[in-house]
Amino acid sequence: MQEIIILGRGGQGAQTAGNQLAKALFSTGYYVQTFSTYGGARRGTPVTSSIRVDTQPIRQRCNITNASALMCFDDNLLDYDFLKLSGDEALVVVNSSLSTKELPALGNRKIFPIDGKAVARRNNMGKVVNSALLGALVAVLDHPKLETMCAIIEETAPAKKQENVAACREAYDIVTAPPAEKVLA
């Protein structure tokens, strides 16, 4: 079983991203369990979307405490309390203009910074980074397939469907580019 936690602030789209990822995984034949946790009932408070995915039915019904992947909407949220919810070898996709070396030490966790804001701006998305972060996460996890994720985004995005898909594709391409070609801005 793979466990994924998405962390953002209320209004950033973490819940939407979690639901879209769960739907994409489910549509490819996985069993999926998803649940959310909200801070205060106001915009800007921490929000998490938790996802379990497996090839067999999921019977576990507790909080995730050893995630294999994390996705963070803001590098300011990368703190001990969030990181302790993951395993030491977890994959971490973070919305950040900083390089891996400039981000806090994450132990053996493999960090993938992506400047989601820049990707969003280039694709006429303003500050909406969830589709870009999903593209990066799909690249890191290697599932679901990019085409599946893009189809779900196009189906479920409330507005700017093509722009959302383009942002997802661009971030995927950034993460999967050969090291010499990577430009994470």
Helices (H), the chain: 14-27, 80-83, 116-122, 130-141, 146-156, 161-176
Q: What is the pTM of this model?
A: 0.92
pLDDT tens digits, 114-141: 999 999 999 999 999 999 999 999 999 9
Instruction: Kindly report the CATH class assigned to 2-181.
Output: alpha beta
Domain ranges for the chain, please list them: 2-181
Tokens of 150: 């893009």
Lowest-confidence range among 66-75, 82-91, 153-162, 174-183? 174-183
